[in-house]
Amino acid sequence: MKTNKKAISLIVLVITIIVLAILAATVIITLSNTNIIEQASKTAFIADMANYKQAAGIYIASQMAENKTGDSSEINLEPGDANYASVFGEVPTQYEGKISIEAGKLVYETKDENEKAILEELGILSSKVDKVVAPGYYESGTSTLKKTWEELLQEEMIVVSDGVIISSSAEISGDLVIPEGITSIGSRAFEKNDALTSIVLSEGVTSISAHAFYECSGLTKVVIPDSVTTIENYAFLMCESLTSITIPKGVTTITDGMLSSCSSLTSVVIPEGVTTIGNNAFYACESLTSIEIPEGVTSIGKCVFQFCSGLTNVVMSDSVTNIDYNLFNGCTSLTSVVLSNNLTTIVKGMFEDCSALTSINIPEGVTSIGRAAFSGCTSLVNIDIPDKVTSLDAYVFCECAKLTNVKLPSGITSISEGLFDACPALTSIEIPVGVTSIGSYAFMRCTSLANIVMPASVTKIGWNAFKDSNAVSDVYYTGTEDNWSLISFNSGNESLTSATVHYNHVI
């Protein structure tokens, strides 16, 4: 029995050794295959990069020959450029958007350390950031340094005090790079420097003061680091060539007039930390096409988007509760608007002269609509006014040329002056029970208005309330003939008084 047990133990031991040997062999084969695959991938990457470097070299040489210059620093080629494909061919998916030529150098953008090591051996930049740009100012769009930062300070072309740039010379043209150590751009520091084309602020700058870049009409690009938390009033006012800007995440207020009259600005992203947008912040940004007001913004000042004539689309988060007048006044391309559901007022002139606006949903919580809020909305066809509205100010729908149908809310007590003046497509109107007066010019020039339902509560009709509304044919009056005779009609309402009145009308 002891012999048998020894034999069995020996067999088990042998089987165990065999199994372990098989597993070890499998691991070795797997590792070997992995190494082969990694090596193959590495070899392919090296070959591809070498080919791209050769293609870039040929292109750079041809450009230098064509331009008859020995300087390659002005040669750039980005994905999407017209001759990009002819230089690099059809770029594989894994390389898309990563390959470019910057200042005469091939760049392959990557964060992979293994790839970076290969690129370094091949003399290829792994990131555009790898191109160290010394502080100073450069010829626009090139790497040609015109003056170092030290020279700018020595010649007092830049004046700095305690880390704050106090002033600058208008002789600084082209691209400016601000060094580390600067903490603030002072008030009017670069005011009216129309030769400045771009500026890069280094990490460490925390604030940009009022009017810092006022009327820098040639400025096309600004790089603002995340260290900036404050951008003061009118900092970029009338920077007419500025096309885009990224507002740092730490900024909580878009200040008054910050980007006002930046007529080339096509896009801007408002960070989620912003709570307030100040007066005139984006006034007359004519090239701005869309804007999203993020969650967290609670207050929007007056005239913020006034005369943004290219603005077509607006989305406003529900966190917005307070808005001021003329918000979208003169936004002649505006077609789509999503308003905060927590608004209680459509303010004065809010959509005045938004001539492309065909319809809009007014939030149910709105209780008042301000003067001329929709005046000049010549494409507006119909509008639903929430029942909670108790106040419609003067000229709200004046010159809404296509407005055909409006249901007035039951809570109003008067028809304001000029409310529907010059609404030639309006064919009928029902005045709610409880209205006591119809203001002057209220329905003047409503040339298609034929039928009016009027309650007995009306006691006064103002000057020219129905002047030139000559199509009025029938008035359906809920009171008696005696009640009708007691209404105070001011002059200019002959079209109403000459119409057929149907007394004791039941609504």
pLDDT at 10: 55
Query: What integer best gives the mean pLDDT of the chain?
Result: 91
pLDDT of residue 105 exceeding 70, the answer is: yes
Question: Rounded to two decimals, what is the model's pTM?
Answer: 0.75
Which one has a higher pLDDT value, 263 or 14?
263
Domains of the chain: 2-130 (no CATH), 355-507 (3.80.10.10)
Maximum alpha-carbon separation in the chain: 132
Q: Please give the share of the chain, as a percent, with pLDDT higher than 70.
A: 91
Alpha carbon of residue 163 to chain centroid: 32
The yes-or-no verdict on residue 335 having pLDDT over 50 is yes
Spell 474-507 as b/e; 16+ CB within 10 A means b: ebbbbbeeebbeebebeebbebbeebebeeebee
- Please give the pLDDT value at position 11: 57
Could you give the CA distance from residue 331 to residue 327 in angstroms, rounded to a whole number? Answer: 9
Phi, psi of 190 (to 5 degrees): -120, 20
- Which structure tokens are listed for 124? 């290829």
SS3 45: helix
Q: Note the pLDDT of residue 494.
A: 96
Bridge partners, 316 (sequence order): 293
Rounded to whole angstroms, how far apart are CA atoms 425 and 416? 19
- Indicate the SS3 state at residue 34: helix
Mean pLDDT for 287-314 is: 97
16 has pLDDT over 70: no
Under a CB-based contact definition with an 8 Å cutoff, are residues 206 and 227 in contact?
yes
pLDDT of residue 9: 56
> Residue 2 — very low, low, confident or very high, per pLDDT cuts 50/70/90?
very low
In the three-class reduction of DSSP (H, G, I as helix; E, B as strand; rest coil), residue 87 is classed as helix
- pLDDT of residue 363 exceeding 80, the answer is yes
Measured CA to CA, the distance from residue 322 to residue 276 in angstroms comes to 10
Burial class (CB in 10 A: 0-12, 13-18, 19+), 252: middle
